[in-house]
Amino acid sequence: MSCHPEVPYWPRKEPDEVQWQRELRFAERVQALMSGMKSVAGAGAEAAGCSIPHYAVGGDYFDILPLSDGGLRVIVADVMGKGFGAAMIMTMVRSAVRSATHAGLAPGALLKHTNDMLYEDLQQVGAFVTLSCTDYQPASRTVTVAGAGHPYPWLMRGENPTVRIEARGVSVGMLPNRRYQEQVVAVEPGDRLVVYSDGIVEARESDGRELGIPGLESLVRAVTGQRGREWLKAVLFAVAARAREVRDDVTLAVVEFGDNKK
């Protein structure tokens, strides 16, 4: 079968179940390479993240990229839908994001670049992508956040109320030629920045209700004495223990700020 109208039927052997499973296992390894749990330290901050696809592969993506000034860039993206198609689009997003980072683009410009690069393709397949980009700048002890339709990152400081950093912007692939604003927020040692995809707050509890933002926040605040990967695992285990059903890909990333010493 050909998926392109102008390409004739191509005589080939149809894959059997063994071949499909082989391809699936390889796809899972590629997915884990891109979005498996990892942590990266910068000057005065450490970031960790993890994506869990709903099926074998999925459309959530996160990245932690060191910046030339010793800072860190944290990306969380969520492609519409689940499964193989979403995963393929996710790899396109990852390439656009990494090329923009390599070119030294700031968060807002990175989102514009990604939308400019992918808009036509996403329109063709009827998909969109939500994307959050956060840069930590150690010299100024600030984070710069830009968002394209993505849930707002949280800044958590001790027992203070959680601050939602409202970086607003249209999802990638929805409209052409978009510009994305940036929010700049000061951070202090001990602060924690949390970025997530909506799959985690859409998890259903035993009564059928969504965990929701308040539910996730209560689970996050209940995890004490842990940092980095251990903190991530503790939160994800807490969500898994409370959820009857998770319906989508899930991503959770955290940046923890310390003194400006690496």
> Which positions lie near another protein, rule CB under 8 A?
78-82, 126-128, 130, 147-152, 168-171, 174-175, 198, 202, 210, 212, 247-248
Question: By C-beta, is 69 or 202 nearer to another protein?
Answer: 202
Q: In the bound complex, what is the minimum distance in angstroms from residue 78's beta carbon to another protein?
A: 7
Phi, psi of 181 (to 5 degrees): -80, 160
Residue pair 35/251 in contact by the 8 Å Cβ criterion: yes
Question: By C-beta, is 73 or 82 nearer to another protein?
Answer: 82
Separation CA 8–CA 14 (nearest Å) = 16
Q: Is 120 exposed, middle or buried (0-12, 13-18, 19+ CB in 10 A)?
A: exposed
Q: In the bound complex, what is the minimum distance in angstroms from residue 99's beta carbon to another protein?
A: 23
Residue 228's region, left for phi above 0, alpha for psi from -120 to 50, else beta, is left
Question: By C-beta, is 43 or 216 nearer to another protein?
Answer: 216
Please spell the DSSP secondary structure of 137-157, one letter per residue: ETTTTEEEEEEEBPPPPEEE-
What would you report as the CA-atom Rg of the chain, rounded to the nearest whole angstrom? 19
Q: In the bound complex, what is the minimum distance in angstroms from residue 126's beta carbon to another protein?
A: 6
Q: In the bound complex, what is the minimum distance in angstroms from residue 73's beta carbon to another protein?
A: 21
Question: By C-beta, is 72 or 75 nearer to another protein?
Answer: 75
Q: In the bound complex, what is the minimum distance in angstroms from residue 220's beta carbon to another protein?
A: 19
Taking the CB of residue 242, how many other CB atoms lie within 10 A of it?
A: 16
Question: By C-beta, is 28 or 210 nearer to another protein?
Answer: 210
At 64, list the tokens: 């932690």
Question: By C-beta, is 194 or 232 nearer to another protein?
Answer: 194
Q: Interior CA angle at 91 toward 86 and 93, to 5°?
A: 90
Q: In the bound complex, what is the minimum distance in angstroms from residue 178's beta carbon to another protein?
A: 9
List 243's β-bridge partners, or say none.
Answer: 205
